[in-house]
Structure 1
Amino acid sequence: MSLLDHPDRLREHVAAFRAARPREDVRARFGASVMALLERRPDAVAVTADLMHATGLARLLPRFADRLINVGIAEQNMTGVAAGLAACGRLPVVCGYAAFTTLRAVEQAKVDCAYNDLKVILAGLGSGLTYGVGGPTHQTYEDVAIMRAIPNMVVVAPADPVELGHALDAAADLPGAAPVYLRLGRGPEHVVTPPGAPFEIGRAIRLAEGRDVCLVAHGAMVMEALLAADLLRAEGIAAEVLNLHTVKPIDRDAILTAAGHVRAMVVVEEHSVIGGLGSAVLEVLERGHAFPVVRIGIEDRYPPTGPTPELREALGLCGPHVARVARDLLR
């Protein structure tokens, strides 16, 4: 019997795969990364909406109290203040929950930042289902669709806390004046970034080679894509894994290169299937492709409320489900 069809063996295999990969807290890494950025860049300043402790920014207080601005629970004001700081030559890093950074303050992101060509780093924590217990007010599954539709906006979803640090530095050093939306998680996530792995905004990272199916993912779903590739290997299926951390500007070359040698493609994202990573990939392939493409994400409905791991499994945002979908595509 196939491993995918043997519940007990599958459960043990998945547990061992996860246990072999360390976990790190997203919020702790974010706070440490912002601290390092402020040490490196005298022009950098952090702006938050009453989330100093929830985002790890409280560690800035002893050394950088004069470069940490807490505007209170006022995300629109937070983004507007950040735009003003950018207009004065500073490098503001905005930090709020993704639901409010991208929805409540979307006008300020669009007009104050993007329209005026101002470099503001908009960090949205608790994206996707990582604030699952917060329910529909705090779950965020439409942010990529919204932010990538804004002209002049860069959209990046790091795969893990390590890549978060790389992405923040890359956003700060990105030439030009485009604002950058960093889509971040909330709690502990598995680390999948190889030591010394290069990071460049707009350049995908190939984490596994394969010529049967390409698994495309970003954020925490990269871990699930790697797990799916491991499970498919036991089925005799070679899966390529593409960490497409930058949704905009998207790495067209990486997608088209994969399309040239695989028999199917599966895009998995902790986001609505409408307008997110899967839609962006299909836009690259819009001139036609000779293989099936399936998008795995959150369907057009409100997810339930609950812990993140249980929600991911219930909605099919997990390695075993991705592997089954890919296997069935190739049959």
Structure 2
Amino acid sequence: MTPTTPITSMTSMRESFYAELDPLLTAADDAVVVLAAIGAGQTAPTAARHPGRVIDVGIREQALIGVAGGLALTGRRPILHSYAPFLVERPYEQLKISLGHQDVGAILVSIGASYDASSEGRTHQAPADVALLGALPGWTVHVPGHPDEVSQILHREVHRDGRAYVRLSTQVNDRAYPTDGRIHEVREGDRTTPLVLAVGPMLDVVLAATRDLPVRVAGTSTPHPLDTAGLRALLGPADALVVVEPYLAGTSAAAVAAALADRAVRVAHVGVPREAELRRYGTPRDHAAAHGLDAAGVRRRVVALLDQCHSSGGGRAGFPPRLR
């Protein structure tokens, strides 16, 4: 997996999204942006250049989805935008009915991710967003790891007609990688050694956490639907896998289990824990550390799996004892 050629300077993912709206509306005559107050100021120049194609419904997230469903029924391609909890959790029934039951498409673009807006409190946190959308049929979920990936994903999705969720984050990798929906190997190694699969912006964290460990590293920006054929091929003869996701731990567990149903593979899922809510403010970095999603936390989970493999494998080659 090699980095892609940079398209933009290193702005934030959110800035990249706003910068791409004008080109998107120019490239796709049927595209229309629908807001619920969030982003109204940033999209004002686009609204002025494209009259009638940027609609702000106000602080009415359920109406946001309903309006998008109506627009889609008339042949438009709606692009919806808000914080993740307001875009997925609050209007979940509308997502199920107005888009899903009517079988029409839209592009949802969120900000906030799991705990990017941690200082705003629990109302602005949504680590369950990908799991919730994964429970509804027909959704594709993109979790880019770099601002340049945002542009590639949006320009591809605007010319499709399905339901897509693009999850933006303030956490970024230092370079862009392919956004073709596949799982790509980033750090190669012995095919019998465990594989660590990083989703989106977790890739740099995983690379730092495992830099001296006997594991291979792969990444994907499209965790749903998961590239199960690619996972099987990359896992090869290895019997251990770690999946590192920037949202609820185990969100991809069902897809991984189905892909490996005929194999005896030890799997660990690393993500935001489900057991207890973190009732604290602090920075996103504080939350990552508390959830074990910083480099130190990810390393602990990978080392624990390697230790288990060593204990059960009788000192198998490539698994030094008691790695720390």
Question: Superposition pairs for residues 1-331 of structure 1, below 5 Å?
Answer: 24-53=11-40, 56-174=42-160, 177-185=161-169, 187=170, 189-194=172-177, 197=178, 199-200=179-180, 202-211=181-190, 212-229=193-210, 231-232=211-212, 235=213, 237=214, 239-274=215-250, 276-290=251-265, 292-300=266-274, 301-303=276-278, 304-331=280-307
SS at match of 1:191: coil
Question: Could you give the per-residue CA deviations for residues 3-35 of structure 1, whole angstroms, max 9, x where no partner exists?
Answer: xxxxxxxxxxxxxxxxxxx95312101111222
Report if aligned partners of 2:34, 2:79 keep a CA contact under 8 Å in 1: yes
Report the identity percentage. Answer: 30
- Determine the C-alpha separation between the residues in 2 that align with 1:266 and 1:24: 30
TM-score, normalized by length of structure 1? 0.82
Give the aligned partner of residue 3 of structure 2: none
TM-score, normalized by length of structure 2? 0.84
Instruction: Output the aligned Cα RMSD.
Output: 2.1
- Determine the C-alpha separation between the residues in 2 that align with 1:328 and 1:90: 50
Residue 126 of structure 1, CA deviation? 0.9
- Determine the C-alpha separation between the residues in 1 that align with 2:34 and 2:235: 41
The 1:172–1:191 alpha-carbon spacing in structure 2 relative to 1, beyond 3 Å, is: farther
Mark the runs of 5 or more structure 1 residues left unpaired by the alignment: 1-21
Residue 279 of structure 1, CA deviation? 4.3
Which structure: greater helix fraction? 1
- Determine the C-alpha separation between the residues in 2 that align with 1:64 and 1:311: 40
Residue 188 of structure 1, CA deviation? 6.0
Question: Could you give the per-residue CA deviations for residues 142-168 of structure 1, whole angstroms, max 9, x where no partner exists?
Answer: 111110110122222112222121111
- Determine the C-alpha separation between the residues in 2 that align with 1:148 and 1:188: 22
Instruction: Supply the AA of the counterpart residue of 1:161.
Output: P
Instruction: Supply the AA of the counterpart residue of 1:84.
Output: G
- Determine the C-alpha separation between the residues in 2 that align with 1:122 and 1:134: 22
SS at match of 1:243: strand
Mark the runs of 5 or more structure 2 residues left unpaired by the alignment: 1-8, 308-324
Give the aligned partner of residue 17 of structure 1: none
Report if aligned partners of 1:161, 1:191 keep a CA contact under 8 Å in 2: no
- Determine the C-alpha separation between the residues in 1 that align with 2:135 and 2:171: 30
The 1:60–1:299 alpha-carbon spacing in structure 2 relative to 1, beyond 3 Å, is: same
Give the aligned partner of residue 5 of structure 2: none
SS at match of 2:103: coil
SS at match of 1:271: strand
